[in-house]
C-alpha cells in the first residue's frame, strides 16, 4: 500500500484520533492492470485521440492502465466470471491522474472546441457539461478504484452491442434507459413510463448492459446511475485521496 502520513489530533471530547493521510504522488498501492488481470483487453482511450476531447489527455504518457491492488483483485474475479459466460472484459479507463481531470475541465470551459461533438455529445449543449454532471473538478477515477469497461464476445470476436458508445453524454447512457436495472427487465421506456423518441435501445442491448452490471455487482463493485460502463470498488482503499502521479 502507499506509504501514509500519520498524525494524531485531539477530538472535541478529549479523545485521541489517528488521522491517516496518503501521499497522492505515491503509486506504490497500485498494480498494472494487464499483469493483475491477464484476460483483460485494454483500449486506453485517453492515451489516444479518439475521445470526447479529440487529443491525448494530460497525464497519459504511455498506453498502460493501473488500479489499486484491491480493485484489481476484485476485477480479476469479474474477469473469471464473464469468461465462463463467453466474454472478456474490455477496459477503456482505470486510474486517472488529477492532471487529466484538470485537462477535461479546461476543455469544457473552451466552448468553441466542438471537434468531437457529433461522436460523443450530439444532443448535449457544451454549455451544460458542468451543470448536468458530465464534467467535474474531481473524479472517482483519481482515487484509483474506479474503471470504465464493456464486454468483448469471444465467440464473435467483436465488442458486445451496448446500444451506444463509451463516453456518450446523454440519458441514453443511463443504466435505467429502456429498462429496470434492479430487476434486469427490459421495458422500452424511461423514467415516468415515457417511451423514448430517439436513442431507444432494444432488448438485447439492454440485456448486454445487465450482463456486465450484474457481474460487476456480484464481485464487489458498485455502479453509477448515469453511465452503464462506470463502476467503483465498494470498499475502495483511498476514498479521500485523489492521486496525481502520471501514467508512464
Q: Which residues are catalytic?
A: 227
Instruction: Classify strands 30-32 and 41-42 as parallel, antiparallel or unpaired.
Output: unpaired
| Cβ atoms 166, 173 nearer than 8 A | no
Classified as helix, coil or strand, 125 is coil
DSSP state of 135: S
Q: If residue 8 lies in a helix (H) or strand (E), which one and from where to where?
A: strand 4-10
How far is the C-alpha of 239 from the C-alpha of 78, rounded, in Å? Answer: 21
How would DSSP label each residue in 10-71? E-TTS-EEEEEEE-TT--TTEEEHHHHSTT-EE--TTTSS-SSSSSPPTTB-SS--EEEHHH
HEC string for 155-205: CCCEECCCCCCCCCCCHHHCCCCCEECCCCEECCCEHHHECCCCCCCCHHH
| Cβ atoms 242, 143 nearer than 8 A | yes
φ, ψ for residue 243, nearest 5 deg: -75, 155
Amino acid at each position: 500500500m502507499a506509504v501514509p502520513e500519520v498524525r494524531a489530533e485531539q477530538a472535541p471530547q478529549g479523545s485521541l484520533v489517528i488521522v491517516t493521510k496518503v501521499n497522492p504522488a505515491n503509486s506504490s498501492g497500485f498494480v498494472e492492470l494487464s499483469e493483475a488481470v491477464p484476460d483483460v483487453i485494454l483500449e486506453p482511450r485517453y492515451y489516444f485521440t479518439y475521445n470526447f476531447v479529440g487529443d491525448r489527455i494530460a497525464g497519459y504518457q504511455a498506453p498502460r492502465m493501473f488500479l489499486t491492488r484491491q480493485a484489481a483483485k476484485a476485477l480479476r474475479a469479474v474477469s473469471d466470471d464473464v469468461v465462463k459466460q463467453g466474454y472478456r472484459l474490455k477496459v477503456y479507463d482505470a486510474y486517472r491522474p488529477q492532471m487529466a481531470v484538470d485537462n477535461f475541465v479546461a476543455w469544457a470551459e473552451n466552448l468553441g472546441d466542438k471537434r468531437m461533438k457529433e461522436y460523443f455529445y450530439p444532443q448535449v449543449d457544451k454549455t451544460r457539461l458542468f451543470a448536468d454532471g458530465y464534467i467535474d473538478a474531481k473524479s472517482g477515477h483519481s482515487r484509483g478504484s474506479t474503471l470504465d469497461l464493456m464486454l468483448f464476445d469471444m465467440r464473435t470476436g467483436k465488442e458486445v452491442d451496448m446500444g451506444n458508445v463509451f463516453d456518450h453524454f446523454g440519458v441514453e447512457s443511463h443504466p435505467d434507459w429502456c429498462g429496470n436495472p434492479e430487476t434486469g427487465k427490459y421495458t422500452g421506456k424511461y423514467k415516468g413510463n415515457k417511451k423514448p423518441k430517439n436513442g431507444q435501445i432494444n432488448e438485447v442491448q439492454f440485456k448486454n448492459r445487465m450482463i456486465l452490471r450484474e457481474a460487476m455487482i456480484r464481485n464487489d463493485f458498485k455502479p453509477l446511475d448515469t453511465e452503464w460502463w462506470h463502476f467503483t470498488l465498494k470498499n475502495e482503499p483511498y476514498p479521500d485521496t485523489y492521486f496525481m502521479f502520471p501514467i508512464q
